[in-house]
Structures are given as C-alpha cells and as structure tokens.
C-alpha cells in the first residue's frame, strides 16, 4: 500500500524528471518542501511560475536573458570581432566565471546527432553563419563539448565558416574527452581558452 498522498506522488514524479534527480533525492527534496515555512514555498512557486515569462533567448546570440538583446551583445566594451560558440546557453556562465573571455557568444542550442534526428536545421548554425557574413569577425572559437557529437558539430561548423573566410579555432588543453565544458573548473577552462588551437 502506498501511503503517500496523491499530491506528494505527483511532486515526486515531477522532481524525478529533473536531470540528476533519482528517487532518493526526489524524496529528500519533497520532505524538505513539505516541512519548510509555507512562505518560502510560495516564493519558490512564484519564481518557477515567472521563469518562463521573464527569461527568453537573445535574438542575436541565443543566450538566456531578460532583455533583448542580452547584456553581452549590447555591451560596447566587449570584443565584437570574436565569437565563442557553445552548445547550450548556460555554458557561457562557466566561461564568464573565468574572467578570461571578453568577446561575444553564440549558443547552438544543442549538437548534431543524426541518431536522434538532430540536424543542422535544428540548431542555430544558419544564424551563426549570418552573423559571420554581416559582421567583421576576426575569429570564431568553437567550444562545443569534447564528445563525439560535439567534435562532429565543431567540424561541420568549421567547414561552413572556413568557406566564408572566417578564422576558426577550438579551445586547447585541459578539457577531457567525453566531458562537458560547463563542468570544467575555472582555471582549466581559462587555460583552454588561452591556448586554443586553429581548426
């Protein structure tokens, strides 16, 4: 017999859908939510409800933002001749934390994965190409994850951009094969950006 009330079971099901949350973690989170001050729960629910309404993708670079264009694209102090390409918008947070990069970004919103039906048209590659055609870029750094899919995506984009006469590079040492750029520590990521290699 399942003694958990129906709303608790529903909460557990939703929590378990979150990345990295299994049944035990979901249960601990549910226990916390059931015992915390009701005002905190209401504030948390308000933040979740407002998230989808206040946060959107930048129309230029596809980073997460409240304003369009985002703070990076609108910042005249940034190096507008340099674009760092990442798979997901949240990867830019890790890069910014290094304090070593001062150019622009472009989020692909994923990577090429023919087995899962993800082709170039499903990513923002054409938008990146348009930025390269209209801008006066010095370099594009392809910081896709060092996985099979990430490397394939970087190679595909490099060929497309080189045909446009754009210099293309990849971050160098320090990022493990099979890892995620966002998971790399600040020092390693900063070194990888400084020692990037041409593609």
Are β-strands 168-170 and 197-198 bridged in parallel, bridged antiparallel, or unpaired?
A: antiparallel
Residue 58: Cβ-neighbour burial (10 angstroms; 0-12, 13-18, 19+): buried
Kindly state the percentage of the chain with pLDDT values over 70: 92
Tell me the C-alpha distance between 57 and 1, whole Å.
45
Q: Assign domain 6-54 one CATH number from 1.10.8.420, 3.40.50.2300, 1.10.3720.10, 3.30.460.10.
A: 1.10.8.420
What CATH architecture is 64-198? 3-Layer(aba) Sandwich (3.40)
What is the pLDDT confidence band of residue 197, given thresholds at 50, 70 and 90?
low
H/E segment holding residue 199:
none
pLDDT in tens, 97-144: 989 999 999 999 999 999 999 999 999 999 999 999 987 899 999 999
Going from N- to C-terminal start, the domains of the chain cover 6-54, 64-198
């Amino acid at each position: 017999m399942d003694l958990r009330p129906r709303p608790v079971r529903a909460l557990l099901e939703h929590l378990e859908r979150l990345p990295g949350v299994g049944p035990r973690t979901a249960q601990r989170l549910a226990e916390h939510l059931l015992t915390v001050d009701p005002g905190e729960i209401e504030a948390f629910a308000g933040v979740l409800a407002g998230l989808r309404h206040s946060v959107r993708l930048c129309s230029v670079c596809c980073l997460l933002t409240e304003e369009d264009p985002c703070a990076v694209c609108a910042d005249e102090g940034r190096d507008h001749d340099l674009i760092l390409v990442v798979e997901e918008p949240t990867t830019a947070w890790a890069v910014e934390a290094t304090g070593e990069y001062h150019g622009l970004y472009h989020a692909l919103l994923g990577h090429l994965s023919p087995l899962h039906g993800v082709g170039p048209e499903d990513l923002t590659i054409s938008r990146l190409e348009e930025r390269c055609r209209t801008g006066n870029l010095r370099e594009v750094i392809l910081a896709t994850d060092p996985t099979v899919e990430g490397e394939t995506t970087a190679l595909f984009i490099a060929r497309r951009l080189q045909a446009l006469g754009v210099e293309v590079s990849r971050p160098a040492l320090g990022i493990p094969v099979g890892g995620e750029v966002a998971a790399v520590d600040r020092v390693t990521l900063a070194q990888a950006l400084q020692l990037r290699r041409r593609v």
